[in-house]
Structure 1
Amino acid sequence: MSAIDDLPPLREVIDAHDLQARKSLGQNFILDLNLTARIARCAGDLTGCDVLEVGPGPGGLTRGLLAMGARRVLAIEKDPRCMAALAEIAAAYPGRLEVINADALDLDTSAYLTPPIRVVANLPYNVGTELLVRWLTPAVWPPFWDSLTLMFQREVAERIVAKPGSKAYGRLALLAQWRADAQIVMSLPPEAFTPPPKIHSAVVHFKRLEEPRFPADPKILNRVVAAGFNQRRKMLRASMKGVAPDIEDRLLAAGIKPTARAEEISLEGFCALAREVAK
């Protein structure tokens, strides 16, 4: 018996269903159910919420989410080997777990969920950043989700919460912080996983803002940020030449020195520049 429910320990589940993690699928499983319950708690009070989980594997975090009171969990799992183990969890929590065998990159999950919706996932390393960018850049804001609680490589987590002037500060920080409050809420060493990855991991919690932090057209903001950081060692007057022929004037109008570099510019500064470019 595990500490959070009456289902077998995860090591037994993995052995019974031959679910050894596959590197090709970016799989690293957390077998400590008390730890998966802690991750679930990082998402806040889940009672009354639908939860989207991507990459549940043998279901450690899934069990944590259900044990912590999630109204309903939608689990998207690409690996068909995991279906039988997840079906056993669904049977233990009648009507509260739906599992879809699919690639999360190919599925519109919002159609399966009822608000309020939270996303909680130990994301496969090979698709984590791509999924995050999609969730932060929907066609219409606010998005379908209220919050995201996601596991990343520690390096990626630090890029998400980075501030101007640091080496980690870049496009990912600006994208995340423009539309959400993001903070690292938990760190995990390699030995927390099976098999242990070569890197440390961290859980980041994102609380969406109802409106972006500063006004800007999303496409133009993305363009100026990309131009600035694609050549981050150059001064902005050089790296942004392709954005507008009179880029120096636009930089000055936005209150930015043309000799500054991208990593020195705050989110507010980039949004001001995007508004000037839009003119």
Structure 2
Amino acid sequence: MTLPPIRETIRQHGLSASKALGQNFLLDEQLLDRIAAIPGDLKRQDVLEIGPGPGGLTRALLRAGANVTAIEMDPRCLPALAEVANAFPGQLKVIEGDATGIDPATLFDGPYAIVANLPYNVGTALFTGWMGGQAWPPQWSSLTLMFQQEVAQRIVSERDTSAYGRLAVLAQWRSRARIAMKVHRSAFTPPPKVMSAIVHVTPVPAPPGVSSHVLESLTEAAFGQRRKMLRQSVKRIPGALDALARLGIEETRRAETLSVDEFTRIAGELSAR
């Protein structure tokens, strides 16, 4: 089965991007192939895609040889995705549902990559969920995710910058994150109001003795009141001020001045209690 261009598929099925679902469709097949190439060789590899919509990125992943499991909550898109599945026999499984309520670990027996043009309204929540948990390394081998450029910059930012915050620490303490590609708003239908960027994340060994739950609580407190000194922002966490003293970290500093390593060391001290 030969598929029509994605623009024609959208027209045939009367699809329009839903603002409520955070949808923006990518139609440029060359661009989509470039995105599908970011994780590396996907031949016979399992890939999870969130929010495939009419299936533009899905096609690119399938052309790259991946076995794709796609989660789509918009029933309007299912007939278009069924056509894609017919064109690539045995390579595509479509699950109708809300990705925020589905544990990817239940979908795969082994490692898998996540590649997605994430819906803007749930992208950050999905990302922090995948980065969390004590079990590490994770079952996913890499994340290749489209975000609003502002969110992408927050993920890869360094300390003492305006973008640096909780998202950077949670993304970088046990993984490597980089912006792999910037995507102009004009590439989407309809064009969003903001620019986009693709973040590629790969896990690295986690520092020993650090509880991810403790680190999450610490960064939530520290950056929840980022204009306040640490002695005010983290004082509600038992043992936090004592940990700062033991590590020689001045409690008059503010959260954005601490490196990812310093946050990890504080969390390690608290985890040992």
What is the TM-score normalised by the length of structure 2?
0.95
Instruction: Tell me the alpha carbon deviations over residues 215-274 of structure 1, each in whole angstroms, 9 at most, x when there is no partner.
Output: 411121112211111111111112111113x64432121231111110010111112112
Q: 1:42 aligns with which of 32, 38, 42?
A: 38
- Check if 1:30 corresponds to 2:23: no
How many residue pairs get aligned? The number is 272
SS at match of 2:199: strand
CA distance in 2, matches of 1:138, 1:36: 31
- Check if 1:109 corresponds to 2:124: no
Amino acid at match of 1:229: F
CA distance in 2, matches of 1:27, 1:176: 24
Amino acid at match of 1:185: A
Amino acid at match of 1:268: D
- Check if 1:266 corresponds to 2:262: no
Q: 1:154 aligns with which of 149, 169, 193?
A: 149
SS at match of 1:18: coil
Amino acid at match of 1:238: Q
TM-aligned CA distance change 1:186 to 1:214, over 3 Å = farther
CA contact (8 A) 1:136 1:175 kept: yes
Partner of 2:234: 240
Q: 1:212 aligns with which of 201, 206, 212?
A: 206
Q: CA RMSD in A?
A: 1.5
- Check if 1:229 corresponds to 2:223: yes
CA contact (8 A) 2:50 2:99 kept: yes
Q: CA shift at 1:112, angstroms?
A: 2.3
CA contact (8 A) 2:115 2:143 kept: yes
Q: CA shift at 1:115, angstroms?
A: 2.5
Q: Is the deviation greater in 114-123 or in 160-169? A: 114-123
CA contact (8 A) 2:134 2:211 kept: no
Amino acid at match of 2:221: A
CA distance in 1, matches of 2:107, 2:80: 21
CA distance in 2, matches of 1:152, 1:213: 27
Partner of 2:163: 168
SS at match of 2:146: strand
CA distance in 2, matches of 1:253, 1:53: 45
Q: Hey, which bits of structure 1, 4+ residues long, moved more than 6 A?
A: none
Q: 2:79 aligns with which of 81, 84, 87?
A: 84
Q: CA shift at 1:164, angstroms?
A: 0.8
Q: 2:246 aligns with which of 225, 243, 253?
A: 253
SS at match of 2:113: strand
CA distance in 2, matches of 1:108, 1:12: 33
TM-aligned CA distance change 1:33 to 1:265, over 3 Å = same
CA contact (8 A) 2:133 2:213 kept: no
CA distance in 1, matches of 2:207, 2:32: 32
TM-aligned CA distance change 1:17 to 1:176, over 3 Å = same
CA contact (8 A) 2:240 2:266 kept: no
CA contact (8 A) 2:22 2:120 kept: yes
